[in-house]
Structure formats: structure tokens, C-alpha cells
Copies of this chain bind each other. A is one copy, B any other.
């Protein structure tokens, strides 16, 4: 750590800002300075926004999304298809699918992936609650929108195995060429998958 040269109140702020992803000690220092030098336009509004978030935002007891309401506004939205549950690893993935308006379903946030090497087993994830939700009579499809990584796919297989008695269709995201992607830059696995799943033009 570099030497503390400012007031303890400022150092404390720098220290906490440095723990945000994307900010190191140096940029946290710059951010703190920027905050303090823009008291009315940034420091005060951020103070109240953080206070509000701390007071109002919580984890949805049903799906694991983060929202000001519990159950969250997605779980209670009557326009969404209650028959499909889209399973994601994290809230960030849920938000990404929502930004893309990719699906109008309910969600279920696992909170990570199975990872025996890191000691993360089924009980550390929201898998039991998913199995239970999948057994509801109106649920017809579970879309496993997990990352295309080894851990993600392991998790998908584990969940599929445990959904056998649940009387639901289990689906996964398609592999293929990203929209706007150039073939020359794609890995062989993706290209092979895109050819195998080719569709009529």
C-alpha cells in the first residue's frame, strides 16, 4: 500500500472504492478526488443513491434476481410466460438477457456454477429451489442459459439429471456464429457447432 497522505475520512473512502471491480488503488484515489471535488453534482447524489440501494434493494426470494421488490418485478409480471424458467449463473447474466429482450420468461439465478476444485457443490447453489419450482404444474420448459464453459456445462448436466422426474422440457442456448462475428476469428468448436446446426436460408 502506498503512504496515506490525506485525511483518514478520505483514505477510508479510497480504500472502499478500490474494492470495486474495475478500480485499483490508483484509480480509486482519482475517483475519490473527483467525488469530493464534485460535491453537489456527484458526491451528495451518490451518497443518497447508495443509501437508497442499501435500504430498498434485496434479493428476490423466488428467483434470486436483485430488485426493489420481493418477489421481484419479473417474478410478478403477469405479461411474462410463467411456463418457462430461464436458468442463469448470475444476476449479471439475467440483466444481459433482459437488455437483449431475448426472452419473456421467468428466471432462476443459480449464484454460480458447480466447481469441485473450488469446493462449490450443489448445496452452495440455488439448485434445490429450481428443482422445486420446476415441479409446479404450470412450468413446461427449463432453459439452461449457463455459460458455455466447462463448469457451466457440468452444472447444466447436473441440473438436467435432477429434472428427470419433473415433467419439463429442458433446453439450452444454441451455439453458433455471434451476430456480426467474422468466421476467421472464431474458434473451431464454434464453427463446427454452427455448421452442424445449420438452418435453411
- Report A's interface with B, CB cutoff 8 A: 2-3, 5-10, 12-13, 16-17, 19-23, 27, 29-37, 39, 42-47, 49-54, 56-57, 66-69, 73, 91-92, 95, 98-99, 101
Is the Cβ of B57 less than 8 Å from the Cβ of A7? yes
Partner of A31, one of B20, B37, B44: B20
* A5-B99, A21-B30, A98-B3 known; A10+B57 contact, CB < 8 A: yes
Distance (whole angstroms) from the CB of A125 to the closest CB of chain B: 15
Across the interface, name the chain B residue whose C-beta is closest to A20. B31
Chain copies in the assembly? 2
- Interfacial chain B residues near A99, Cβ < 8 Å: 2-3, 5
- Interfacial chain B residues near A101, Cβ < 8 Å: 3
SS class of chain A's interface: helix, strand, loop or mixed? helix
Is the Cβ of B16 less than 8 Å from the Cβ of A95? no
- Specify which of A3, A30, A49 lies most central, judged by the most chain B CB atoms within 10 Å of its CB: A49
Distance (whole angstroms) from the CB of A114 to the closest CB of chain B: 19
Is the Cβ of B16 less than 8 Å from the Cβ of A49? yes
- Interfacial chain B residues near A50, Cβ < 8 Å: 13, 35, 43, 46-47, 50
* A-B contact sample (18 more), CB < 8 A, given A13-B53, A23-B31: A6-B67, A8-B68, A10-B66, A10-B68, A12-B49, A13-B49, A19-B42, A20-B34, A20-B42, A21-B31, A22-B23, A29-B95, A33-B91, A33-B92, A36-B57, A47-B54, A50-B50, A51-B51
